[in-house]
Structure 1
């Protein structure tokens, strides 16, 4: 028997992991356009994945490759979960086929054909499992052609075994105001021009239809609203033209679905209409609905707000008036809360743009992040600041401000602003896992802010709900002040007389010259256990360090000196400064401790 020698033939798949590669290509393109620091890592991951010869079934399995960190593996697993929930399953191909050419050539050919047929049949069966519910035959064929190296075969729908009912075909429809919903309506709006639209312009158009940001991922996530685009393309609702500088249009199916969504949305009231066009809202106590559906009453803080005469930066001026109906209530947003007004896709700007009836402006605020003014409809230069101010903190920023000392300094400046109603608006940061301090510590700090400082604390779960809260506050203040005659002057607030916005902002300058008393307060605030109220109570009796030194010199012994400040009252004479704080201050300011 003649021995036949020959080369070993190995069949390999050209793209063993087409889905993972396509998702990484999207991420890499987005990171490259934004010049993100993640771009090199994504490029390395994409390169290593493209060279890997075997199929990977989960994102966790990708951890063995270069460039895949924990976040990226979790992203692929999350994307895969969404993909599988739509009844599209990754094929589980058999091992690469190896055929030894030394065998009989005729038997080799027949065995090879049979093996390939079995492989293709198994792969097709895996890919087409319940696929008729979500994708067209052409989409499945194109996907299979990228997964199989053998000659493409026409896929056949799976045959359901006797006694089993086939699942009903589901009609895909994105949720109201979701990313997919916004993209479809944005493309429908653009379709009037008759031209494809690129990513940047589409985001600008679609953002107003969406609750989430198209450019900023959710906390602890890599997803943005734009992540829904790949799903729309897969479903055949959106047609993508080009690769690098891609443009997008609606398919005929997508056009019909977009029109259907637009028609349905006419019967769903927008948040803007609920807040600003509700004719049933009458003058009533301002009640603010928070995220969990409960109600939070915003009451007036009657504590006297101590201010210093050094804050009077302008000469006395006559009292001005605004009659009912002659002014508008306008929300003022600190410009530093945005990434720049020139960026049309800025998340903060986009959230407030969802309320076309909300009168708001962006200015530089020297204290606080949001406030409200009453502006004369005729003379726009006449502006009185209303006695409400909001400091916004995200949970991670709150933790950072506590660690670096900004927390107490900001509360002190808010107290010194002279405005009666101070609201601390706190946003949750995802599940609050990476916020620098334990959640219990932050909640205790907020409780102290509420009880000791007399601030109002309102917690939301996102920037979207924070913007909604401020829009509701604007509506409530408009109702509260619409029948009132407002008085104002270029001085500190006095009773019902409000300061002008120009005076308020100038008086709140962070780097303005401080009086000796203000400097003494700031020094006391650096000590453990000294709150703003305690520092104000001490400086109300001892306005300068010199006066406190003299008081200590008059004490007969250390015990008397340590208790000198213990019984000073603060917070409407309901609490004492306390012996521990009194002792710490005595030890700091007595001369003997420095010898």
Structure 2
């Protein structure tokens, strides 16, 4: 047999992993354009997979190469999953359908046909703009005439056999998206010739349909109700028109969806209907509020057991400071109950879409006004229907604090000073309303310290403490209070004057605001109390107990001079304060002695 001689034939794949290599090239180019800090890692991964001579079946197998971490391998696996799915939907077509790959600052997402599975990978990889790419034919790229898709489909742990149904986006009731669709639909019906609205006009009309604010972000986020607009545009429900000013209008699909939402929610009562019109809410999606619930009853006259005592011999302002003595009487049914809101609680009444104003505007039946209150943030007045200048203050005042503001007030000393002024205002029912701030993580003080402060406010100061989840819930609580106070006082005969209230008498609003002013002259005793409150451990009750025995600092200093050091340190320790008759204690007594005794003065 003749020897057969010839060249040895070797077969070498030039691109064993063409899909992975192409996807990594896209990521690397994008990182290079954006000057990302991940550019070196992606370059190393691209170089290593280009030199690797064997075929890799999954993204997880790439972990053996340099430059591949868990997130990058996971990205390749999920990208491969979408690639397989698209190939399975187009078996007769050699080319794979075009996909839209989007990279956002905190996510990597792949958008594709409506029947394909969608996913997001929170990888914090490449922050980039929208780019488009198309996959090449796997048969042409594979030298052995065996597609990578066929090989990997056999070993793929997840095999998609059914088409996933497209979920139709439906905004929640009174959410930002719901409010936008309803407002645009109403405008298109009222103005068919001009169905589009600018952002300002749209927000102005949509706020009344939404429980969320269109101007103030949610706690710990940058998102407002307006953030839903981008989703509505991407879903094809709203068309964005670029003129001199950007305008928005509904598409045909948007009109259909908006009409469905309007029909479905036509019989669903709003919070205003539930609170003021006695309409029962039968829908479980909306949080119903029982007007007879313990939450509201706990701050009403027949349930309120105030532990606060009237301060004896206290007259914050003499009657001479009020021009004329006024005696006001109101017969049942001749007055209206009105909620007064401090102007400082708003960003300014001239400011459009202020969050606080917008929340109260959701209750058209709520009678409320904005005024400058010298103490507290909310109170109620009874105004005569005959003479509108006659106004009597109901014995309720509310101080509102957000959790972060509560922490700041404790640190700078406003917390005790405000509680002292609330006790001196002459209204016996004081409610401390606190709003949660997101998850209460960034509130200036540990949450345990804030809870301890609220407990002291309830136990030691005798205030009612009410905690709400948001500004929306606070407005709801105040609306319920207004409703219940209207019912409580509608059959009562009201009597009052411009002096400190006695028994069932009320004080005029003019007298209330003048006597509660910070700028009014303080007596020596009041100044002494405010001075004592600056010391650690001294509460309002303790300060009052001390000043009832020693009305002025001079009397206390004289008592220290007539005693030795040991007697002086314990001079105030046995003084009793509060309803439980507790003692002031040696630590507080010693601190006050060190402050006022001339032995420690330089």
TM > 0.5 between the two?
A: yes
Partner residue of 1:148 out of 132, 151, 167: 132
Q: Does 1:475 align with 2:496?
A: no
1:171 aligned onto 2:155: no
Query: Which residue number in structure 2 is paired with residue 45 of structure 1?
Result: none
The alpha-carbon deviation at position 400 of structure 1 amounts to 0.7
Counterpart of 2:140? none
Among residues 329, 332, 342, which one is paired with 1:321 in the alignment?
A: 329
Write the deviation string for residues 220-260 of structure 1: whole angstroms up to 9, x where unpaired. 11111111101111111111101772101111111121111
Give the distance between the partners of 1:360 and 1:150, measured in 2 at CA. 61
Normalised by the length of structure 2, the TM-score is: 0.73
| Residue of structure 1 equivalent to 2:355 | 347
- In structure 2, how many angstroms separate the alpha carbons of the residues matched to 1:92 and 1:352? 50
Contact 2:179–2:206 under 8 Å retained in 1: yes
Distance 1:360 1:49 in 2: 56
TM-aligned CA deviation for residue 147 of structure 1: 3.1
Q: Is the 8 A contact 2:217 2:223 kept in 1?
A: yes
Structure 1 178/504 Cα, relative in aligned 2: closer, same or farther at 3 Å?
same
Please give the alpha-carbon distance, in whole angstroms, between the structure 1 residues aligned to 2:459 and 2:398.
17
- Structure 1 CA distance, aligned partners of 2:361 and 2:436? 22
CA shift, 1:570, in A, is 1.8
Matched residue, 2:11 = none
Q: Quick one: distance in 1 between partners of 2:347 and 2:80?
A: 44
Counterpart-to-counterpart distance in 1, 2:298 and 2:506: 29
**Aligned counterpart, 2:245:** 245
Q: 1:546 matched to which residue of 2?
A: 554
Asked if the contact 2:569–2:586 (Cα under 8 Å) also holds between the matched residues in 1, the reply is: yes
Partner residue in 2 for 1:193: 191
Is 1:263 paired with 2:263? yes
The 3 A distance-change label for structure 1 pair 565 and 188 is same
Report the alpha carbon displacement of residue 547 of structure 1 after superposing the two structures with TM.
Answer: 1.6
Structure 2: distance between partners of 1:554 and 1:286: 60
Q: How far apart are residue 539 of structure 1 and its match? A: 1.0
Structure 1 residue corresponding to 2:178, chosen from 165, 171, 181: 181
What CA deviation, in whole Å up to 9, does each residue of 1:243-302 have, x standing for no partner?
77210111111112111111211221110011111179xxx9974548xxx988861414
| Partner residue, 1:308 | 314
Is structure 2 residue 577 aligned with structure 1 residue 570?
yes
2:340 aligned partner: 332
- Equivalent position SS for 2:445: coil
Q: Residues 386 and 459 from structure 1, CA distance in 2 versus in 1: closer, same or farther, beyond 3 angstroms?
A: same
Match status 1:589 vs 2:586 = no
**Structure of greater Rg:** 2
The counterpart of 1:128, out of the listed 101, 108, 112, is: 112
Q: Does 1:52 align with 2:34?
A: yes
CA offsets 1:415-451 (integer angstroms, 9 cap, x no match): 1111101111111110111111100011101111111
- Secondary structure of the 1:175 match is coil
User: What is the CA–CA distance in structure 2 between the aligned matches of 1:245 and 1:152, rounded to whole Å?
Assistant: 42
**CA deviation digits over 1:197-237, x for unaligned, max 9?**
00011000000111111111101111111111011111111
CA pair 149-170 structure 1, distance change in 2 beyond 3 A: closer
The 5 A counterparts of 1:269-280 are 269-278=269-278
**Cross-structure match for 1:226:** 226
Could you list the per-position Cα deviations for residues 154-205 of structure 1 after superposition, in whole angstroms to 9, with x for gaps in the alignment?
xxxxxx9998332233322111111110100111121122321000110000
1:49–1:323 Cα change, 3 Å: farther
Equivalent residue in structure 1 for 2:427, among 419, 423, 427: 419
How many residues align? The count is: 481
Equivalent residue, structure 2, for 1:235: 235
Aligned mates of 1:347, 1:49 — CA distance in 2: 41
Query: What SS class does the counterpart of residue 311 from structure 1 fall into?
Result: coil
Partner deviation per Cα, 1:62-102 (whole Å, 9 max, x = no partner) = xxxxxxxxxxxxxxxxxxxxxxxxxxx999999xxxxxxxx
Q: Deviations over 1:115-172 (max 9, x none)?
A: xx867657699643554799xxxxxxxxxx973367999xxxxxx9998332233322
Aligned to 2:520: 512
Q: Secondary structure of the residue that 1:236 maps to in structure 2? A: coil
Where does structure 1 lack aligned partners over 5 or more consecutive residues? 1-11, 18-47, 62-88, 95-116, 135-144, 154-159
Cα 1:314/1:150, change in 2 over 3 Å: same
Per the alignment, do residues 360 and 560 of structure 1 end up closer, same or farther by CA in structure 2, a change over 3 Å counting?
Answer: same
Change (3 A) 1:412 1:384: same
Looking at structure 2, the residues matched to 120 and 254 of structure 1 have their Cα atoms a distance apart, in angstroms, of 28
Aligned pairs for 1:365-514 within 5 A: 365-514=373-522
Is this contact kept in 1: 2:403–2:437, CA < 8 A? yes
Partners of 1:358 and 1:471 within 8 A in 2: yes
Find the counterpart in structure 1 of residue 535 from structure 2: 527
